[in-house]
A and B are shown apart, each in its own frame.
Chain A
Amino acid sequence: MLHIVNKSPFERNALDSCLRFGRDGSAVLLIEDGVYAVTRGNIAESRIKAALGQMKIYALRPDLEARGMQDAVIEGVQLVDYGGFVDLVTGHTAVQSWL
């Protein structure tokens, strides 16, 4: 399953909830304010690094660029554009948005 998180880890617990229910082979895509979770030094960094051991983590590059955070991405997180977002959706059996 592809999990999408769109809120900052400081604002909502969506990322934490998402990671609680992710399984090996799941993928998580951070979009909109959710991209802050994959920036170096942020409060969620250790959770993201731990999750990278189990699942793939992606972030939407346009949202990072909009927020000026494109050079601060945690290693191991893969950046995608909207086309890549579409491929992630079609490449997984289902999609769950953690709002």
Chain B
Amino acid sequence: MKLGILVNEGPYTHQASDTAYQFATAALEKGHRIYRVFFYHDGVNNATRLTEPPQDDRHIVNRWSKLAEQHGIDLVVCVAAALRRGIKDEILAKGFRISGLGQLVETGIQADRLVVFGD
């Protein structure tokens, strides 16, 4: 199946981004395709390349970048939510792109299932 994922919260403060990542990984292992991961609300904070978490813990942002690169996954950050929170092209991590809310709606239309991870 083609699966869409919506991540509504930022890294570390909520488990949402972690759970979404584990779900995505498991789905890929089962042979499903991730149509898009869309980041909304504070979820846009998953896209900044400026994070410096402690070395002995997971690097949430890099993990998404790596997954996107390995599997050709489209990571999209909502432009309006991003601008509100100061997430801009110049600080985006690899694999993420900023686009409109229409991409979320389109994910709902084109994917077989859309799963929301949030607070």
Contact = CB atoms under 8 A, between A and B. Distances in A.
Interface of A: 4, 6-7, 31-33, 62, 81-83, 85-87, 89-90, 94-95, 97, 99
Contacts, number: 52
B15 A82 contact: no
Contacts of B118: 6, 97, 99
Interface residues on B, range: 20 to 34
Given A89-B3, A90-B32, A99-B8, A82 B114 contact: no
Contacts of B29: 83
A99 B3 CA distance: 20
Contacts of A32: 15-16, 19
B83 interface: no
A32 to B, nearest CB: 5
